[in-house]
Amino acid sequence: MSGNHRNGTPAYKKIQNAIRKRIEASELNPGDAVASERELARAHKVSLMTARHALAGLEREGVVERRRGAGTFVAAPKIHFNKLMSYTEHMSSRGLAPRSRVLTAKIIEDEQEVSARLGLPAASRMVKIARLRLTGEEPFALETCYLPASEYSGLVNAPLGRSSLFGALQHDYNVELAYADEEIDATAADAQLAEMLGLPKGAAILRIRQVIYSTKGKATIYVVGYYRSERHTLFVRRFR
């Protein structure tokens, strides 16, 4: 058979959906081999071209990666920064279960740089939430969020190891986030950060500092994130 529509769904999409379901069910994990074009064509009773089209589409989405001479493998999750999304939303869009480990959730004060980023007086009390982001058991990012304690002190007790901060702000505080101003640079992992992210000391990592604003134009969250650089892709559209 060819890649014609059957039951309203193109054959190549059926192949893609079958692979995604196996990833969602953890039958296929990052680094695992995916069936070859020939095997997929045989299993789904489609042409080789249709199977190739299915894998090419998954590769464009970053779900799989093709290694010349070796085959096709489930790709490690990559975060694309073109849209303001929470980690939970990013992982869910890839069909992966978001996993976080809360390292810190407390009220702090006298962090003058952070206060300035949020447009607050220097001695302001703030909520500090640090989370290690994981795929499976493997860490790939450390994100620390700061919010004004005068408005969001309840977040210290929120179950943010398994839920989204963006979601908590929306559901519990009726705050909608709109946009972020970001600074992106490369830095070297110190000993503590290297150990957390499973990297050698001094390894290159990506640092992203964000001030995230609400739909009312108010600076709501300041985030400092350190990311394993091979797991993140930044797409930039430039105009003349």
Pick the CATH number of 5-74 from 2.60.200.30, 1.10.510.10, 1.10.1070.20, 1.10.10.10: 1.10.10.10
What was the pLDDT predicted at 1? 45
The segment(s) of the chain belonging to CATH 1.10.10.10 are 5-74
pTM greater than the 0.75 cutoff: no
Query: Start-end ranges of CATH 3.40.1410.10 in the chain?
Result: 79-233
Residues of the chain whose pLDDT is less than 70? 1-7, 77-98, 230-239
Among residues 108, 203, 184, which one has the least CA distance to residue 153? 108
Identify the pLDDT of residue 97: 60
The residues near 68 (Cβ < 8 Å, ≥ 6 apart) are none
Residue 89: predicted pLDDT: 58
d(CA 87, CA 17): 23
Q: Cα 38–44–50 angle (5° rounding)?
A: 60
The length of the chain in residues reads: 240
Q: How far apart are CA 232 and CA 135, in angstroms?
A: 13
How far is Cα 214 from Cα 180, in angstroms, rounded to an integer? 9
CA dist., res. 194 & res. 197, Å (int): 5
Instruction: Report the pLDDT value the prediction gives residue 96, as an integer from 0 to 100.
Output: 58
Class of domain 79-233: alpha beta
